[in-house]
Amino acid sequence: MELRTVATTPFDDQRPGTSGLRKTVTHFRQENYLENFVQAVFDTVPELKGGTLVLGGDGRFYNREACQTILRMAAANGIARVMVGRDGLLSTPAASVVIRKHQTQGGLILSASHNPGGPDGDFGIKFNTANGGPAPETLTEAIYARSRELSEYRIYDHPDIPLYETGVFSIADTHIIVFDPVSDYAELMEEVFDFEAIRQLFLGGFRMRFDAMHAITGPYAHDILERRLGAPEGTVIHGTPLPDFGGHHPDPNLAHATELVNELFDDAGPDFGAASDGDGDRNMILGRQCFVTPSDSLALILANAELVPGYRGRVCGVARSMPTSGAADKVAKKLGLEAFETPTGWKFFGNLLDAGRITFCGEESFGTSSDHIREKDGLWAVLCWLNILAVRQQSVIDIVRAHWAEYGRNYYTRHDYEGIDLVAAQGLMAHIEAQFPALTGKELAGGKVAYADNFSYTDPVDGGVSKNQGLRIGFEDGSRIIYRLSGTGTVGATLRLYIERFEADPAQQRQDTQQALAPLITLALELAELPQRTGREAPTVIT
């Protein structure tokens, strides 16, 4: 065993995005690429020396190899203990649970979330701080700055740690604890939810299908749904994590979870369906003949929080990302709770959660969670729904329609244009923003424009300011058009177009979403000159 100091040169593309550093596997496998970023993290977070690091990922291609490299580097950088999930597996929400429960100094999560895997797919890495949440912008910028000046990294030459078995191992003075990645998370879920009520639901013949998409939530869903809650064997499909996710795109939406969607929209389909993504932090909720938008799901969980033991009598507020519909705002107003609108990126919820200003938070991109951790949590959202269904004894579609009748319906859709030319996308955004001064007060698509701006956020806890977070066109009736370039892809640019219209009249709440929003969709395309500037006649994905 030898401690080596390896000379290296900086890479200029290691600035973490909203969810860490994401690149193709080929890019990550460049000589010293992973090592440079990990060394930059270790150099920037001094409390890790002599402390404890949590490590694990979603099992995608390169996960195990990266774990072994990080373990050898952790030992070389004086980290006293590394807690690593068995087989290198650990869902993103479970990593947050482990960091918080064991009071570690942070964690490295290996995942590109919902992006495809395999040798030709994507890989990612991000650092979560001691509160269990993603590193704030100040820290990610410091990590990036360190990566730009790096000249060496430290690593031990050491045989691979046997990650396939739980136990305690060592590299030099560093203890490597290989632990069951499911148990801490499952135990927390039992504290939050009424497991007995959910067991009775399944005993009564309730039928469910959960699609783990050959990603990380398979082991968690098998343990919690089928073993602890008594759902019949076979409730969980695609439950074995695979390095390439079985050749599928592990994104739980209507376009990629088609097997699940087709089953739930069959007349004889299960009562309830759900799916989660590559690293377990996203969710899709379905009832028979019913898709629940992530925006509506957040609002419904907030409205029914008193039915869940872990939240009874203690809900204080809610936050949503700016592109998420205002459905949760309507609930918060009626319940007398604080409601916040933040930029996209889970780290923006962290200060609000730590300050006790909010209990629930969510994004339209299939992410929902609460103050139980500091990450979005796909399986948690599924358990929320099961708890609500067990208590209310109604179908998903009946619960949704009753909610709309009480709070109104926010017709809402997202159109994604993936892999478009970055220069063309930036030109399109500049073209839209240049029109803003002339838009306010105009009558467009049957409504009057109330404002047009580039969203800026001032954190109510620490006063931090985040600018250029998305282009908004808001109407006096509450309708909105939003344009945003996403930072989660690895090739080209992804342009996301969000359209929203509020409908208070129950008699008008059962229209087809795309038809209800058609005038606003047409206007959004015209204002952006989208087909002409991108060459795209239709979105890649509609949700």
Question: Cα separation of 52 and 439, whole Å?
Answer: 53
Closest CA to 328 of 318, 338, 336: 318
- One-character DSSP codes across 298-333: HHHHHHTGGGSGGGTT---EEEEETTS-THHHHHHH
Q: Residue 335 CB: number of other CB atoms within 10 A? A: 15
- One-character DSSP codes across 84-99: EEEEEE--HHHHHHHH
β-partners of residue 500 are: 412, 480
Q: Could you give the 3-state DSSP secondary structure of residue 69?
A: helix
Determine whether 113 is an active site residue.
yes
Helices marked H in 106-257: 137-149, 183-192, 195-203, 217-221
Within 8 A by CB and 6+ apart from 4, the residues are 76, 154, 155, 156, 157
Q: Which helix (H) or strand (E) is 443 found in, with range? A: strand 443-444
Q: Check if the beta carbon of residue 289 is closer than 8 Å to that of residue 313.
A: no
Closest CA to 499 of 416, 418, 442: 416
Q: Residue 204 CB: number of other CB atoms within 10 A? A: 9
For the chain, helix (H) and strand (E) counts, in that order, are 19, 27
> Which member of 113, 295, 297, 479 is catalytic?
113
Residue type for position 88:
G
Q: Check if the beta carbon of residue 96 is closer than 8 Å to that of residue 129.
A: no
Q: Look up residue 473 and give its two tokens.
A: 């066109």
Catalytic center residues: 113
